[in-house]
């Protein structure tokens, strides 16, 4: 396993693998890897001959008042995890390598990015779509792996690959949780002891919503109100959104009459955490 910082070097390696008839999986990440990322690397290792893990905190997807500077980074630790899970290369470019002087091309998406995180984080998906397109062009993988925790991101990337005729299979992998239910996230490291306890309202609200759907509740506002009430009973929590959207369009729906995602974003102190469930998985 090696760490490559340079785009040309990754391209050279990928060409060599292709010449040998090998298949390639890509796991895009922003580093500070945890078991959620490990499950994506495992899936890629299982499905492909070679796995590239990108490790790049993408400045373009952070808003001006977001956590770009404080986002946790530890490439040494990441390299051990990637190696242990069968990754072959970590692609860890500097921002200047990804966005060379004079960079001025962007990939943007309408409709799917108008709701949920797209509303609260206006520049976010333009940054995600641009960097993921670049990574797809650099690595040209057969398959790319994304976590279902970022459900909107997964839908956006599926749509992007389809709209732009990218010959890449997009694979969504299940959310990995801590034993007490909190969805794994690099941002969980920001939480103080009290906040870590309070953060359980997210997975509890998800469990509550899931149980209501399982019992047959179809009225979205009834489900949303119950989940919000649960979250808002926690003094350290403040709701950014609790919404139910169509799986494909990411537009809000009022009745559960098609495959949908119930997605939540909650501030615990100043840390914004997300979680969700897919009604198809209930
Ligand atoms: O999910 C992430 O970590 C990032 O949004 C991604 C897909 C690696 C793009 O920077």
Domain extents in the chain: 2-173, 186-275
61 alpha carbon – ligand 1 mean position (Å): 9
Q: Is 7 exposed, middle or buried (0-12, 13-18, 19+ CB in 10 A)?
A: middle
H or E element at residue 203:
helix 200-214
26 lines ligand 1 (CB under 6 A): no
Fold matches, 2-173 and 186-275: no
152 lines ligand 1 (CB under 6 A): no
The residue whose CA is least distant from atom 2 of ligand 1 is 29
User: What is the CB neighbour count within 10 angstroms for residue 195?
Assistant: 18
User: What is the CB neighbour count within 10 angstroms for residue 253?
Assistant: 15
The CATH number assigned to the domain with range 186-275 reads 3.30.1300.10
92 alpha carbon – ligand 1 mean position (Å): 13
Instruction: Name the one residue in this structure whose structure tokens are 């808002």.
Output: 232
Q: Is 100 exposed, middle or buried (0-12, 13-18, 19+ CB in 10 A)?
A: exposed
The residue whose CA is least distant from atom 3 of ligand 1 is 29
Atom of ligand 1 nearest to the CA of 28: 8
Per-residue model confidence as pLDDT tens digits over 99-131: 999 999 999 999 999 999 999 999 999 999 999
Structure tokens at 75: 């490439």
Atom of ligand 1 nearest to the CA of 186: 3
144 lines ligand 1 (CB under 6 A): no
H or E element at residue 197:
helix 193-198
128 lines ligand 1 (CB under 6 A): yes
Q: What is the pLDDT along the chain (282 residues), one digit of tens a residue?
A: 999 999 999 999 999 999 999 999 999 999 999 999 999 999 999 999 999 999 999 999 999 999 999 999 999 999 999 999 999 999 999 999 999 999 999 999 999 999 999 999 999 999 999 999 999 999 999 999 999 999 999 999 999 999 999 999 999 999 999 999 999 999 999 999 999 999 999 999 999 999 999 999 999 999 999 999 999 999 999 999 999 999 999 999 999 999 999 999 999 999 999 999 999 999
Please say if 80 is a catalytic residue. no
Q: Is the pTM of this model over 0.85?
A: yes
Q: 70 — phi, psi (to 5°)?
A: -90, -5
Q: Which CATH architecture has domain 2-173?
A: 3-Layer(aba) Sandwich (3.40)
Rounded CA separation 97/256 (Å): 45
């Amino acid at each position: 396993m090696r760490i490559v910082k340079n785009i040309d070097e990754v391209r050279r390696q990928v060409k060599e693998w292709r010449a040998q008839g090998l298949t390639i999986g890509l796991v895009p990440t922003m580093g500070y890897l945890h078991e959620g990322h490990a499950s994506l690397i495992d899936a890629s290792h299982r499905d492909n001959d070679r796995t590239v893990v990108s490790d790049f905190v993408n400045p373009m997807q952070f808003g001006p008042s977001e956590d770009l500077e404080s986002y946790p980074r530890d490439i040494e630790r990441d390299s051990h995890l990637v190696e242990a899970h069968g990754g072959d290369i970590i692609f860890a470019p500097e921002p200047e390598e990804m966005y060379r002087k004079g960079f001025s091309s962007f990939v943007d998406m309408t409709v799917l990015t108008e709701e949920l995180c797209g509303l609260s984080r206006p520049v976010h998906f333009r940054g995600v779509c641009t960097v993921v397109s670049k990574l797809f062009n650099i690595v040209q993988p057969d398959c790319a792996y994304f976590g279902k925790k970022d459900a909107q991101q997964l839908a956006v990337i599926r749509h992007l690959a389809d709209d732009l005729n990218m010959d890449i299979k997009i694979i969504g992998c299940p959310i990995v949780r801590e034993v007490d239910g909190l969805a794994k996230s690099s941002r969980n490291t920001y939480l103080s002891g009290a906040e870590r306890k309070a953060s359980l309202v997210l997975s509890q609200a998800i469990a509550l919503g899931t149980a209501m759907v399982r019992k047959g509740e179809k009225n979205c506002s009834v489900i949303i109100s119950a989940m919000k009430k649960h979250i808002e009973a926690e003094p350290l929590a403040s709701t950014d959104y609790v919404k139910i959207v169509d799986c494909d369009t990411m537009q809000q729906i009022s009745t559960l009459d098609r495959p949908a995602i119930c997605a939540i974003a909650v501030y615990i102190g100043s840390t914004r955490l997300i979680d969700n469930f897919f009604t198809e998985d209930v």
